[in-house]
Structure 1
Amino acid sequence: MTKAEMIQRTRAFALRVVHLVDPLPTESTGTIRGRLFWRCGTSVAANYRAACRAKSKADFINKLKIVEEECDESIYWMELIVAAKLVLKTKLGPLTSEAPELLSIVVAAIRTTRANRKS
């Protein structure tokens, strides 16, 4: 997958998160969890884009580690939102499969970059 394709994919993920969070209940529980999910879900795209502008391989790896953390946190918030019955799991749709896929891609990119840096 090219950087441009990954930028598009993470952006699409962020947009799906935004559209999911908007209709969440407005009581404090829904608002707080929604904001946290919105923050980390959109951060996946923003930080991947920043990683693409890294000044060195070490900088690239560090920025990808942030993407990894934010993606993992997005998965956590999706699980919590479903467990709290704020959203049905079926309503999450492709987000439930996309987040782990993005996480796997990012982890593989980190490993590959580290291996290439050592050789």
Structure 2
Amino acid sequence: MLRSTGSSALNFGEAQGANTDKDYINKASISLKEFKESRVNLKILSKVDYGNASRRVELLDELEQLIRIIATIIKNKK
């Protein structure tokens, strides 16, 4: 979970320094994939009832919002 979310943030940081729109879209797309991986990880943790249930719900909501934001950014760059 930590690896995929951390990677998402780092990849999006790289996207912000991209020289071209194509490079930006590519790096932001990698970040989006990592956020989606984090979502799957969080759902798995929910299935096995690991950790605080209310915190998992909050994190899942944040992930969904980030996924929508990045997907919109990518869509608007195309």
How far does the alpha carbon of each residue in 1:82-116 deviate from its partner, in whole angstroms, 9 at most, with x for none?
111222421325211110100001000111000xx
Q: Equivalents in 2 of 1:56, 1:77: separation in Å? A: 32
Partner residue of 2:7? Answer: 43
CA separation in 2, counterparts of 1:85 and 1:47?
A: 30
Scaled by the length of structure 1, the TM-score of the pair is 0.62
Displacement after TM superposition at 1:60 (Å): 0.0
**SS of equivalent to 2:55:** helix
Aligned with residue 68 of structure 1, among 25, 29, 32? 32
- State the AA in 2 paired with 1:76: V
- Structure with the bigger RCO (C-alpha within 8 Å, sep 6+) is 2
AA in 1 matched with 2:41: W
The residue that corresponds to 2:42 in the other structure is 78
| Match of residue 72 from structure 2 | 108
What is the aligned partner in structure 1 of residue 17 from structure 2?
53
Unpaired runs of at least 5, structure 1 = 1-36, 115-119
Letter in 2 for 1:62: N
Larger Rg: 1
Which secondary structure does the structure 1 equivalent of 2:49 belong to? Answer: coil
Runs of 5+ consecutive residues of structure 2 not aligned to the other structure: none
- Identical residues among aligned pairs (%): 24
Q: Give the counterpart letter for 1:75 in structure 2.
A: R
Query: In the alignment, is residue 94 of structure 1 matched against residue 58 of structure 2?
Result: yes
Paired with 1:107 and 1:73, the residues of 2 have a C-alpha distance of: 14
Asked if structure 2 preserves the Cα contact closer than 8 Å seen for 1:82 and 1:88, the reply is: no
Pairwise CA RMSD of aligned residues? 1.1
